[in-house]
A and B are shown apart, each in its own frame.
Chain A
Amino acid sequence: MSSATPGTPHLRGARVRCEELGFRHPGGDSSLSLASVDLEPGSRTAVIGPSGSGKTTLLHLIAGILSPDRGTVTLDDEVISGLPEAARRRRRLAGIGLVFQEFELLEHLSVRENISLPFAIDPALGSEGRSGRVEELAGRLGLGPLLRRHPRRLSHGERQRVAIARALVVGPRLLLADEPTGNLDPRTGAVVLDQLFAEAERAGTTVLVVTHDHSLLARFEQVIDLESPEPGGGS
């Protein structure tokens, strides 16, 4: 709902709608089912629930990494859950940023190269004005002096900020973060989350964050609790 701050290109966050989602991992015993989830453009939503309740699965369904057994995932006006894998992958690469608990950086690449990874995968992505974008984003996240370093020589907080920069470098309309502060101490976690929110707000990006930390919930406009897996439900 927030709009881009002046000085950056005006980008609207994505509207995400999940309806009657049902999914069971092949060979898995528990299944995930959700009545409906609605993410307003530019909104911030938290997903909570005990371990194994399906938080990551939900993120992967929205990202199009997984395809639901029933129900639909709609991104703006497009039902992406029905698209073939390659199409979902392209939507994801260009429009959805992902941040993981374990950072998942490539050890053999420098900070700059890690951040630029989406461009390496698809050189056509944001071909105009992308050269300055890496530096600009890194600068705002306090990574400017670290661009040539390799991940193993970074602190956990720095690593997660690199991962956030990688997720945001293509200017996604939706940011999905799976326990982004789970491997950080509370103070660093709070700072990193602040930066994530600040960056998302600049571009009006819609944000969905999986978290265990209930003290952070006040900072979200909406909370999805997967506590009771069977009936499922929104906030």
Chain B
Amino acid sequence: MIGPVSLALRSITHHRVRTLLLVLCIALVAALPLAIQLLMLRHESTITTRATDTPLVVGAPGSRFDLLLHSLYFRTTPARTLSLADAERIGEERIEERPLATAIPLFLDDTARGHPLVGTTLDYFPFRGLQVSRGTLPQLLGDAVVGEEVAESLGVGVGDPLLTDSGRLYDIGSTYPLRLRIVGVLARSGGPDDRAVFTSLRTTWVVRGLGHGHESLDADSDPALLLGTGEGAVTASAAVRTWTEITDENRSSFHFHGEADAWPVSAIIVVPRDPRSGTILRARLSVDPLLESIEPREVLDETLSIVLRVKRFFDANTLLVGTATALLLILVFALDWKVRQRERETLLKIGASRGWILRVATIELLLILGAGAFVAVGSVILGVLALDRTFGI
């Protein structure tokens, strides 16, 4: 009929307010360190994996950490850029007639509807193990592939247009939005690539205003095309024309002024052919004062050691709060034990053993601790899920 467990449960539900306070108290104290631990674990593995997978990155001299954030996570833009010539030169580095490495240039200075717009070569996709789940990789000027999360959050797919934002990534500037054409969606990879838009380098240069096309269409031929006209319509209807589009008709007219070598590249991912080539290349690059080369894992470890120091402080703090709470809980349970002395005496007089009474009390304690832990874990999981959805960690 009723046993120790149901007796403990009756007591718990009878002292509702006390139980609720205790459970919340335990949950609060347990949730914070649990959440930090979980976030650290998840973050650390996703971040470090990407850094470990990227052997060498070259950028313009400046902050090593900024270069890391820029080239791996598409955050921040470096103050200075390199040129395409630098990428080509690194790709040409040879020993005994064999190239030492593949150089994958990146140019990232703009966004498309809030997502980083990454210009790169087709080498980037196999290097990161990225494949399209729908459509194709960008082949033509104006083609774009989007990460899975971009497609999801913007509700766009293959064949849809995608406008770039006027103004630079993390900076205020002004460029005319370019209407990109989505030709593919990348399969989810669980990293920053899911949240980025990829095009050819040339497309990003057009977005930056470094290249342009000359309009040959009739301004009044088609309202849709009118909106899509390029340079030719600027003076005629600046108010109407809010963006530029690269079409099959005008694609060939797009061109770039200036030396091809000087076109900008914001970072170069260098993939050595083998470890020995990597060592030789690093040595050669380190003497070039115009280049900054970093090993992402090394830079990340320096940074993580700071984070770890902060975490250690947090841990000490948690330990203190935890100890204080534990003492408080002990006090509450001790008071409760005293208040219920009469009840225990009754049970003893009726014929219950001390062991049985202790068992019921222990079950009650464990149920409360368990409920606290359950609420803590539950809220942490819900919180992490919510964070995932909001920030895509």
Contacts and interface: CB of A to CB of B under 8 A. Distances in A.
A118 interface: yes
A98 B350 contact: yes
Q: Which 4 A-B pairs have the closest CB atoms?
A: A93-B351, A108-B14, A104-B346, A92-B351
B308 to A, nearest CB: 48
Nearest to A178: B349
Given A100-B346, A107-B14, A117-B347, 9 more contacts: A86-B353, A89-B351, A93-B351, A106-B346, A109-B10, A113-B1, A118-B351, A120-B6, A121-B351
Most A Cβ at <10 Å: residue of B7, B15, B342, B346: B346
A120 B14 contact: no
22 contacts: A60-B349, A90-B351, A93-B350, A93-B352, A94-B351, A96-B351, A107-B14, A108-B10, A108-B14, A109-B10, A113-B1, A113-B10, A116-B1, A117-B350, A119-B1, A120-B3, A120-B4, A120-B7, A121-B347, A121-B350, A122-B351, A166-B350
A131 B11 CA distance: 23
Given A107-B14, A108-B14, A109-B7, A63 B349 contact: yes
Task: State which size class the interface on B falls in.
Answer: 20 to 34
B342 A104 contact: yes
A157 B350 CA distance: 20
Most A Cβ at <10 Å: residue of B14, B343, B352, B356: B352
A145 B77 CA distance: 78
Q: At the interface, is chain A mostly helix, strand, loop or mixed?
A: helix
A9 interface: no
Interface in B341-391: 342-343, 346-353, 356
Nearest to A166: B350
B343 A106 contact: yes
B1 A89 contact: no
Contacts of A131: 1
A65 interface: yes
Interface residues of A, number: 29
Contacts, number: 61
B287 interface: no
B15 A108 contact: yes
A123 interface: yes
Contacts of B347: 117, 121
Most A Cβ at <10 Å: residue of B4, B6, B343, B349: B349
B62 to A, nearest CB: 69
Interface string B1-39: 111101100110111000000000000000000000000
Contacts of A123: 3
A123 B351 CA distance: 13
B343 A98 contact: no
B26 to A, nearest CB: 21
A113 B356 CA distance: 17
Most A Cβ at <10 Å: residue of B3, B11, B351: B351
B1 A120 contact: yes
Contacts of A119: 1-2
A63 B351 CA distance: 10
B182 to A, nearest CB: 64
A147 to B, nearest CB: 12
Contact of B350 (A60, A107, A113, A118): A118
